[in-house]
């Protein structure tokens, strides 16, 4: 409770805690973690310090565990984040703001992930990455042909919808594999109100860069390799967004699209009958374009589900699992680090090359072994060592233009749930 007897906004308590930490990386890291915790609780309707319960802390621990399971976060980082929150709430107890620490109970902490090191962290190795890219290119070619064959028939809308999904999904895989992006930087995170997915206005095709809301909770410029840019550009031509505010990786989940249009147009004074008539006549995306309604981006969970389905169809896996969003960043970083640590640092946007060394310490150890053997036994020994990495860059992939059919056609008739 505040000194005046009123409830304390959670962000105010956080700010008070951060002000009392010594300046430097420790303070900055605490602020980043606590800012994300406040955003998570706010999304759940928890606005004040006094209202934070053991259940709320348990949900946060489960959220961290979900991120570890989905390979978006290391278990060690999840436990560190929770420790920061627990320390913050412990400070609030000592400062007389709350009577007890809701984060420091077995009920709150029992679902925290077990830290087993980096053994379970996924990497998109070059072979799997290129196999997936080839499968997605083939899927797009098939979808383009099907949309062309269906033009002017009753199946045109369904075929064009499938074509859109094929282009979007391919563009996402390419972007995750050839940019160093984190999934939460380019997709919508329902647990973080500031992460709504990148928009077309964030993409600079001429410079080959994308503006993202980074892990530091600051906007950063991220490079995107040419093959990914090409796939993004073809998807944009097909999608034909009416505004640069449209998300790049738009949700094609029909119930969500319909709900967004009904809500937005209803707020503009449209009658329900008029909305339904236009949806039936034009389909959701055409109506969104015509009336300048911005759809939502696909969520992290929606993207994971889509990626799992695409990998199963293509029969491409890493150690028996589908290619997860963060594995693309790790795989690219591993390949670049094998050549030059500083290049990996810049591409991954690490603040310090020390962070890059820590992330790829197994590569560093292997290179140190080779260098030491070269000194002890001669250069020939080291040259015979096989690092196990594939030097393919992915930039030799097909760059054919393949948008195929009229980008203004879409469907709203099929009721199946899609991402």
- What are residue 161's phi and psi, to 5 degrees? -65, -45
SS3 content of the chain, % helix, strand, coil (to 5): 55, 5, 35
Q: Which domain holds residue 66?
A: 10-109
CATH code assigned at 52 = 1.10.150
84 vs 88: CA distance, rounded Å: 6
pLDDT band at residue 117 under the 50/70/90 scheme: low
| pLDDT tens digits for range 345-363 | 788 887 665 666 666 655 5
Give domain status of residue 286, yes or no.
no
Same domain, 69 and 182: no
Q: Which of 82, 109, 136 is the last residue of a domain?
A: 109
Q: How far is CA 284 from CA 18, 158, 251, 260, 287, in A?
A: 46, 13, 11, 9, 5
Give domain status of residue 287, yes or no.
no
Give domain status of residue 288, yes or no.
no
Give domain status of residue 285, yes or no.
no
In the block, tokens 């500031």 appear at: 194
Same domain, 324 and 187: yes
Q: The tokens of 285 are what?
A: 């995306």
Q: At what angle do helices 325-339 and 126-150 cross, to 10 degrees?
A: 130
Same domain, 171 and 58: no
Q: Which of 109, 136, 157 is the last residue of a domain?
A: 109
Give domain status of residue 99, yes or no.
yes
Give domain status of residue 273, yes or no.
no
- pLDDT mean over 257-268: 96
Q: The tokens of 342 are what?
A: 């500083």
Same domain, 97 and 135: no
Q: How many domains does the chain have?
A: 2
| pLDDT tens digits for range 155-176 | 999 999 999 999 999 999 999 9
pTM for the whole structure: 0.65
208 vs 178: CA distance, rounded Å: 12
- Higher per-residue pLDDT: 10 or 320: 10
Same domain, 396 and 320: yes
- DSSP annotation of 193 reads T
In the block, tokens 């890291």 appear at: 29
Same domain, 79 and 167: no
Give domain status of residue 289, yes or no.
no
- DSSP annotation of 200 reads G
Give domain status of residue 280, yes or no.
no
- What are residue 226's phi and psi, to 5 degrees? -55, -45
Least confident range from 53-57, 334-338, 357-361, 410-414: namely: 410-414
76 vs 72: CA distance, rounded Å: 12
Same domain, 196 and 340: yes
Same domain, 88 and 164: no
Same domain, 230 and 334: yes
229 vs 206: CA distance, rounded Å: 10
Same domain, 57 and 154: no
CATH code assigned at 170 = 1.10.443.10
Q: Which of 52, 82, 109 is the last residue of a domain?
A: 109
pLDDT band at residue 419 under the 50/70/90 scheme: low
- DSSP annotation of 219 reads E
Same domain, 17 and 133: no
Same domain, 47 and 166: no
């Amino acid at each position: 409770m505040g000194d005046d007897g009123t409830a304390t906004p959670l962000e105010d308590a956080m700010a008070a805690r951060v002000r009392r930490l010594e300046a430097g990386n420790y303070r900055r890291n605490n602020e980043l973690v606590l800012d994300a915790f406040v955003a998570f609780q706010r999304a759940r309707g928890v606005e004040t310090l006094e209202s934070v319960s053991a259940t709320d802390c348990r949900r946060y621990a489960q959220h961290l565990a979900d991120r570890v399971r989905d390979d978006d976060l290391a278990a060690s980082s999840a436990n560190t984040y929770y420790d920061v929150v627990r320390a913050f709430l412990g400070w609030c107890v000592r400062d007389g703001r709350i009577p007890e620490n809701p984060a420091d109970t077995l009920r709150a902490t029992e679902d925290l992930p077990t830290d087993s090191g980096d053994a379970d962290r996924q990497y998109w190795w070059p072979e799997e990455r290129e196999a997936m890219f080839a499968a997605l290119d083939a899927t797009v070619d098939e979808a383009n042909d099907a949309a062309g064959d269906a033009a002017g028939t009753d199946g045109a809308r369904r075929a064009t919808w499938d074509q859109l999904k094929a282009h979007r999904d391919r563009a996402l895989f390419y972007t995750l594999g050839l940019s160093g992006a984190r999934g939460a930087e380019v997709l919508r995170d329902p647990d973080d109100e500031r992460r709504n997915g990148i928009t077309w206005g964030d993409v600079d095709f001429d410079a080959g860069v994308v503006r993202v809301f980074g892990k530091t909770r600051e906007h950063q410029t991220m490079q995107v390799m040419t093959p990914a840019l090409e796939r993004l550009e073809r998807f944009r031509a097909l999608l034909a967004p009416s505004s640069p505010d449209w998300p790049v990786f738009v949700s094609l989940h029909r119930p969500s699209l319909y709900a967004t249009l009904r809500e937005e147009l209803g707020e503009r004074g449209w009658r329900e009958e008029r909305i339904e008539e236009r949806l039936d006549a034009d389909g959701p995306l055409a109506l969104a374009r015509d009336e300048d309604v911005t759809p939502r981006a696909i969520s992290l969970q929606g993207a994971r589900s889509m990626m799992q389905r695409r990998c199963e169809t293509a029969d491409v896996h890493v150690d028996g699992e589908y290619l997860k969003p963060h594995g693309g960043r790790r795989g690219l970083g591993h390949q670049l680090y094998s050549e030059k640590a500083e290049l990996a640092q810049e591409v991954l946007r690490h603040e310090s090359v020390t962070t890059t060394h820590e992330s790829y310490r197994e590569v560093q150890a292997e290179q140190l072994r080779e260098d030491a053997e070269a000194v002890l036994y001669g250069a020939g020994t080291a040259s015979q060592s096989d690092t196990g990495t594939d030097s393919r860059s992915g930039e030799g992939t097909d760059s054919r233009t393949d948008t195929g059919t009229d980008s203004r056609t879409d469907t709203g008739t099929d009721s199946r749930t899609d991402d």
